[in-house]
Structure 1
Amino acid sequence: MTLFWIASAILILLSLILMGIPFIRRKNNIDDVLRDELNKALYKDRLSELAEETQEGLVDDQQELVDDLKQSLLDDVPDQNAVRGSVAISPMTILLPSMVFIIALSYAMYFKFGASAKVEDWQQVSANLPALSKKLLVPEGAALSDDEMRDLTLALRTRLHYHPDDSTGWLLLGRIALANRDVVTAIGAMKKAYAMKSDDADIKLGYAQALILSQDELDQTLARRILGQLVQNDYVDLRVFSLLAFDAYEREDYTAAIRYWKVMQRMIGPEDSRYQMLTRSIDNAQEQLGDSAVSNTSVSVSISLSEKVKLYQDSALIVSVHTADGSPMPVAAARYPLGSFPQTVVLDDTNSMLQDRKLSSLESLMVRVRLDSDGNVATKQGDWFGESEVVKIGQPVTVSINKQY
């Protein structure tokens, strides 16, 4: 607000200067002086004319005419007493009240029609942007009230107007739009953030989330591609699999939806309150499948590490189920983030490699587990692995990773 008052004071000062210029440059009233000078000039011209007329013999008594001319000049001189009695008006008498009037009128009009309260609220909201942003950056940000959402949107738009290269600001604006179901604004904001930082995982997730809600098939295809990149990069975030499951369910790919929901269950564990909600979603999808519903048969694999195993941060866990004879071609397989050990994973028909050969069709099986260190499934050199004994399907499986290729 300080800047506003300074700017308004400067504008009013300029207005006062423009108004005062005529008074400053105004000369004193010299009408009488001008009249006297004019009369003298006329008197001299007439004397010259009389002299010429006398020489030409047109005038008999020049002196008489000169006396009449002098008398006329004296008659045109104003009464000095009247002049002394007149009151001269000072320019400041008009200028000062006019200045006061302009100042009072300007600010009165602003307070009446200038929305000063809204401007002050806007400045206060803009100053409160950091605090509001922190609330939105965490998952609990959805709990922001409607007023806070409105304030945050106003503050963000103000900041982005002056700092259009702020990728975090565009990300926050996109999240607000998603919370308000404003898909068009969300896609536009997320797209700007993605253009600036296409490698940022949070921005990629936000952009995919906005695109997946679009009615445009091209947008949805791009969203699936981005989500696939996040999964391949081991970006462990429930929202990635939740979006994949949502998209698969909307496309009536119930098998894929079940697979993603089960991945989420493995990530959160049965102790999490969301576990039962995911179970209900899985049951619903299985009902939609009807006769082709996914079998409830699953293989639970408990994995442990030998002390000599060296872990790499970028490693991934590859679990594959094979026939009892140890065939190299797996019947089912899944790739998981490294996580901590020991850990347990569950595979079922959603992890089957071939549509016509389900995991549930096996009577007995064996499980192989490998720590993929380079992100390339085809290369095994230097990777640690382990395999289980042959067990009947439905029985728990234990694998210790203790060998190296």
Structure 2
Amino acid sequence: MSVFWITGIVLLLVAAGFVVFPWLVEGRKRQDTLTNTRLIRQRLLELEREEHEGLLSHQDRLETEKDLKIALLDEQDSQTQNATSARGVLLIGGLLSVVGVAVLYFQVNNVSALNNWQDAKVQLPELAERIVTQGDASVTEEDLQQFALGLRTKLTSSEDDAIGWTLLGRVYVATNRVESAMDAFERALEIEPDNLETLASYSQVLLMVNQESYLAQAKVYLNRILELDPQNTGALGMLAMAATQQGDTELAIETWQRLKTFVPKEAPIYQSIEAQIAQLEENASITTDSLAEQGPLTDVEPSAAESDDAPVLVSVTVTLDNSLAGKIPQNGFLFVYAQDASGASRMPAAVVKMPMGELPITVELSDANSVMPTLTLSQLSNVLLVAKISESGNVMKTSGDLQGTLEITLNKSKNEQYTILINEELP
């Protein structure tokens, strides 16, 4: 039985109680009043008889009769007051019942959410024009959420729209609804399994989550892209990163080498790729036993070669609001990362991850901390700096994470100093 019906029955019983209880009490009082009135009237008749028989003087009869009539009036006034009180109780009970049912209906049926859904359907064409066609930079996260709600509603009547599902997935990524984004991309791939854009978008999300099972799934999709388009440099870069993060050294070296052939030697990315290959070849020389102890390379950290070559672009000092001091997880991690502030891509351009230690702490970000060689910090202009404390060890935002943000304009000619205050707990 639903919560609505259970609560409705309870409210009905309470309302019935407001009606029945005063009625029972009033009934007893009414019966007592009738009994007393009958006795008083009977006594008046007896007084007349006693005076007629000479047992009582006329004066005594009048005085006694006066007292009895006063008592009778008191009984009638009491009955009137009780009736008024009972009506008041019934009125209050009825009003409370009506208010309770209205509140219950509003909560159970989520009327505000229903109104929001109706607004989303009406605003869908306008939001689609601003977000998809115009690329309006003034679009807020609330606009994206409204657009996602309206688009999801539209897809219920056209579930074979692969483009729609892909677009919905990208909007979910932009609003940090990663699981919903994965579901949307999977629906799109069920309709068009070889859609390159969907495969690339889904692979990017899987790489961002950076978990073993997701990395393996990303490699499958990226290999499929390269089967369909062998010169897809974006897929090559993501596959190289997935293999590196997963500890698949042989595949990582092979893929970085393939990617290097598409990059001009004078490009800064070329040097980063060479440094990554050198680091992987050095790791490959370690014995099998050492590799087993070391485990897969899952943390996003710069290699020694990269750190020496890449200039520091941003120094970030991370501090913590005193109100959150008691909420730091014992085995948590600190992430400091930079991403495009325009929201064009949610993929971090530079990430530093470390076990949680004492705050404040200063972290340096550069191209050496890039997740993908095709997306580096130096390529960005408006940058969103994020400092996050997480127990999951996952760079993606999750409920309970502690976070602080700062939006800056990147000055590539010198190392800038910034301070981020971690002052919010993610819902």
TM-score range, shorter chain: 0.3 to 0.5
TM-score normalised over the length of structure 1: 0.36
RCO (CA 8 Å, sep 6+): is it higher in 1 or 2? 2
Give 1 or 2 for the bigger CA radius of gyration. Answer: 1
